Amino acid sequence: MTSAELRNQLRGVLGFPITPFRQDFSLDLDGLARNVDRMACHPFCALVAAGGTGELYSLSVAEIVDVVRVTVQAAAGRMPVVAGVGFNAALGAEIAHGVEKAGAASLLVMPPYYGNPPEQGLFDYYAAIGRATGLPLMIYSRDWAVFSPQQVARLAERLPALAAWKDGQGDARKYQRIMSYVGDRLVWLGGIGDDCVPAYFAIGVQAYTSSISNIAPKLSLQLAEAGLAKDFARLDGLMRRYVHPLYAIRDRMRGYEVAVMKQAMEILGMAAGPVRPPLAACRAEDVADIRRLLESYREVIEERESGGVAERSPAGAGRSFR
């Protein structure tokens, strides 16, 4: 996929599959394939394998390549797969080379491990990963990797393969300045969470990355549809009913942005398993609250024919989650 093709593709929602593990923390690749096949039945513009929600930094290089390979196979051409890349220049280049061979269409480049690099060193890191493949790059500005509009412009000039920018700062005012300064050279993505959808679409992103896509793909798509249409009344209703209550639970502990989504998937009978350290499992009282919250999600969680997870009453009027 060329940078131009990627630009045309990225509109709406990028699904963000979790990486399922077995109880011994080994990869559950069969579970991943089932999850991805289910997600790919929905019209996401792309799927991101081994991203932040996919616990990239707890995976080995070989595991990252396996996760991407299985995701590509399960997606079966229905949408492109973006692969997470990070760590440092050498490992990032090795991962990039491996996931390109595994079928990835683009790379989502995380910040490097070192949290206080000079601009030249940081740019060299991105360039090394870019040289390792012919794939388009997306840069994820998260945590300490904060950029000025001028820095983004300089980086885009240095890296012809840079096609998209994913914001993970949640500062809509600064992001709007960056977008205005750089213009249409890059695709602008919202990336800090489903809870920032209104702000992102208000300033003009064309797509966002969704962890809710793991449990309620229809809801993710509805959020993007309302955002792209600038239908903020509808968007406010979706946020109040579904998104804000979920994110209130996710805010209770560091790392819950992954643990809560995995716990919800487990409750729904999907392959998820534990989180790997340094993340921690959900506390019992939070599990109970997640279970109660999923009752309100029943209108936006698809029916499944098998598994005995979502049950209808005899009259077909309601569902409960075990």
Residues annotated as part of the active site: 140, 166
Residues 6 or more apart from 219 whose CB is under 8 A from it?
A: 212, 238, 242, 297, 300
3-state helix, strand, coil in the chain (%, to 5): 50, 15, 35
Helices (H), the chain: 3-9, 29-39, 61-75, 89-101, 119-131, 149-158, 172-182, 197-203, 217-228, 232-238, 244-250, 256-267, 284-296
- Residues 16 and 50: their CA atoms lie apart, in Å, by 8
Residue 68: other Cβ atoms inside 10 A: 27
Q: Is 178 within 8 Å of 185 (Cβ atoms)?
A: no
